[in-house]
Amino acid sequence: MAKRPTIAIQGIKASFHEEAALTYFGEEIETLECMTFKRMFEEMKQERADYIVMAIENSIAGSLLPNYSLLQDYNFPIIGEIFLPVQLHLLALPGLRFEDIKYVQSHPIAIRQCEEFLQDLQGITVLEKSDTAACAKEIQDLQLKDTVAIANLNAAKAFGLEVLERRIESNKKNYTRFLVIAREHEDIKDANKASVCFRVNNKPGSLAKVLTIFAQNNINLSKIQSMPVLGKPNEYNFYLDLEWTEQKAYDLSLRKILKYTHNLSVMGEYKSNDTRK
């Protein structure tokens, strides 16, 4: 029997990261729980994980900027993506009443996604924790009768909690995009999307020239993100997601932008999997 792949996830079982991993790989996997994003990369570096599934952006909260740095620091290849609809619920021990609630706890990103709902709760303290599912588990483990968690239905089922309020996220079309990262390079058949990173000269029009080359070759930019380079004033890393219909046009674009960029790296070539469309 073939060995199940081990997938490093941020958080614990029943978290959104585990849900994303199951969506991409199916049920026949082992998940490796990591409390930080960096820990996932360290586990794969030590060959205790075969893949990483990592959130990179959310339609409400925006990009997870530190995760771009991790991609650069560890240089493991991106081989896929998942767009996971985020449905958030208010979970509590069975029988808890609204008037008993003193604390709401969840991951900071989940809290941001539910700001409108939380603004209507009077006299309740919001606690930021490391993981949505772990917040739900803590309520069950410690039998917290004054605390509720913001998490998904998997967490409610896993830890025997009751749903006090359903779908409390501000935007009902809320998605988180996850990247699938491998320990070793894999050839992806019919790849039509890439994540690249580069720097440009600090001169007027340098970035515009690069973007013009992509436009002239019908390369769609579905994402552009800049981050300052530490210790180098006025220098930025630009992270781009590129999509194409003709492989030759993509290859030509990369060759042409070499004239205007430096430190160009292709972080991964994979299939576009935007299920929001």
Active site residues: 176, 178
Residue of 52, 42, 54, 71 whose CA lies nearest to 265: 71
Angle at 32 between CA 28 and CA 34, to 5 degrees: 150
CA distances from 13 to 33, 54, 125 (A): 7, 14, 26
C-alpha 195/C-alpha 60 separation (Å) is: 21
Residue of 181, 143, 227 whose CA lies nearest to 45: 181
> 136: number of CA atoms within 13 Å, CB side?
29
**How many C-beta neighbours within 10 Å does residue 108 have?**
12
C-alpha 126/C-alpha 86 separation (Å) is: 20
Residue of 222, 90, 113 whose CA lies nearest to 173: 113
99 residue type, one letter: E
Both structure tokens of 94:
């069975």
